Amino acid sequence: MLGNEGPNVTVEGFDGPLEMLLELVEEKKLDILTVRLGDLADGYLARVHALSQLPANEVASFLALASRLVLLKARSLLPSIAPIAEEEEGETEEELRARLMEYAIVRERAGALGDRLRSGERAFHREGGTPLRVPPRGGEITALTAAWTRVLALAARAREDDMVAPGERYSVEERTQEIEGIVAERGELTFSELLGATPTLGWAVVTFIALLDLYRRVVIDLEQSELFTDILIKRKTKAA
């Protein structure tokens, strides 16, 4: 317990607050040589060990007062020791209190780190965000991908009755021949021009497949200035 008079202690010939014991010794009402400081410390430590939680303030008070008793006993045994000013004693007690508080903080944080270690969390890491995918610039594969995206967009905007026309039939072979003839005649045209104003889904798919076949057979070239823009279909120039 910690009261206004400090922790209670029990030694031979005295049972009460430690501060009162110190006052009796300083006032020479009790001979310091009769006080067994070892028994005083052992008894107090035994009581502290029995507690569930370390009483930091009480321990600080005990250390400050007990150190004063040790000094008084040393003076009685060795009178040549110079007395210590009261102001210095106060500073020593404050330092002891500060060190005990620092110890309590370090102990708490060490316990938290120990819990993380036991749970397998051996390191702190920064959470990563969504990876940024930078689209490629230009290129033949990009042109075909953009063309297919445009086909789907145009087909989605088309009217439903145009997309599902009863009896509508398309031939990839015939569409390939048509595109080859148009490119041979005009030299170049855009993909939008080739599809027309309102293409049906079937017409757009057949046109795209025909373009792939012509590109595979090196009949046409595909150019695109930027990603997802309209592509230019050009007649392949044969080497001389």
Nearest to 66 by CA among 18, 31, 103: 18
Average pLDDT value for the chain: 71
The pair of structure tokens assigned to 33 is: 């040589």
Lowest mean pLDDT among 7-16, 33-42, 159-168: 159-168
Read off the pLDDT band of 3 (50, 70, 90): very low
- Between 17 and 120, the more confident residue is 17
Q: Does 166 have pLDDT greater than 80?
A: no
Percent of the chain with pLDDT over 70: 58
The pair of structure tokens assigned to 216 is: 């595979």
Instruction: Give all domains of the chain, ordered by start, each with its CATH number.
Output: 8-118 (no CATH), 140-235 (1.10.10.580)
Read off the pLDDT band of 2 (50, 70, 90): very low
Please tell me the number of Cα atoms within 13 Å of 50 on its side-chain side: 7
- Between 166 and 56, the more confident residue is 56
Which tens digits make up the pLDDT trace of 17-45?
A: 777 777 777 777 777 777 777 777 777 67
Query: What confidence score (pLDDT) does residue 202 get?
Result: 81
Q: Does 144 have pLDDT greater than 70?
A: no
Lowest mean pLDDT among 8-12, 71-75, 87-91, 100-104: 87-91
Read off the pLDDT band of 161 (50, 70, 90): very low
Model pTM? 0.33
Query: What confidence score (pLDDT) does residue 18 get?
Result: 72
